[in-house]
Amino acid sequence: DVYLRWCDDCHKINLWSYWQGSLDARIMVVGQDWGCPEESPVMDNIRAINDGREDTYHVDPTSLTDQNLCKLLASIGFPADKNNPDLFFANLALGYRNKGLTGGFRQSWIRECEPFFRRLVDIVDPEVIICLGRSVFVGATRAMGKRIRVGKYNDFIESSENPVEIDGRLFFAEAHCGYFGTINRARDREENGMELQLTDWKRIKC
């Protein structure tokens, strides 16, 4: 079975926070969860940062998610290829798979982490929270005390209901920018999935 555990090499709230982790961030980007650390190519970089041998997170050139996220954030004026004091990244599910990088996801992982996410939002106090994927958007807004009804996610992304304001912060529902999220964003559409996401992100103002 796939289950979540902690990663002893993670000295921050989340491994993704090594990439962007400013506590004065204006924008928080929230993903779903992380795979098994032992199977991830970034762990040598993480350990080097922990040991003081390196001070920069290496954006994975082979990761479509990483490359697309950089492109999307740059499009709204917040480049992420280097450390940016306006950005904070974290996953909603804060544990790590015991095996595998994908698959076997359980909604209970998000529910169990929602109280910690709310505390994280209070600490960082961002103006904008970008939620990558339906489960993340529903879970993040629920953690903040809102139950949002979402029908077809692609329709919701384009609707006037997006973003949702909670306690003065704007929560944006966006597609996940990895392979499957980008494919699904363009389902039944003639446009390219990445082009649609770039259009979606134009709404994000901060």
Percent of residues, the chain, with pLDDT higher than 90:
87
Checking if the pLDDT of 103 tops 80, the result is no
Mean pLDDT of 73-90: 97
The DSSP output letter for 16 is G
Q: β-pairing, 164-166 with 128-132?
A: unpaired
Q: Which of 45-49, 98-102, 137-141, 177-181 has the lowest mean pLDDT?
A: 98-102
Please calculate the CA angle 61-66-70 and round it to the nearest 5 degrees.
105
Question: Is it the case that residue 102 has pLDDT exceeding 90?
Answer: no
**Distance between terminal CA atoms of the chain?**
42
Q: 10-49 burial, b if ≥16 CB within 10 A, otherwise e?
A: beebbbbbbbbbbeebbbbbbbbbbbbbeebebbebbeeb
Mean pLDDT of the chain: 94
In this predicted structure, what is the pLDDT of residue 92? Answer: 95
Q: What is residue 164's predicted lDDT score, i.e. its pLDDT? A: 97
pLDDT tens profile 18-71 = 999 999 999 999 999 988 999 988 999 999 999 999 999 999 888 999 999 999
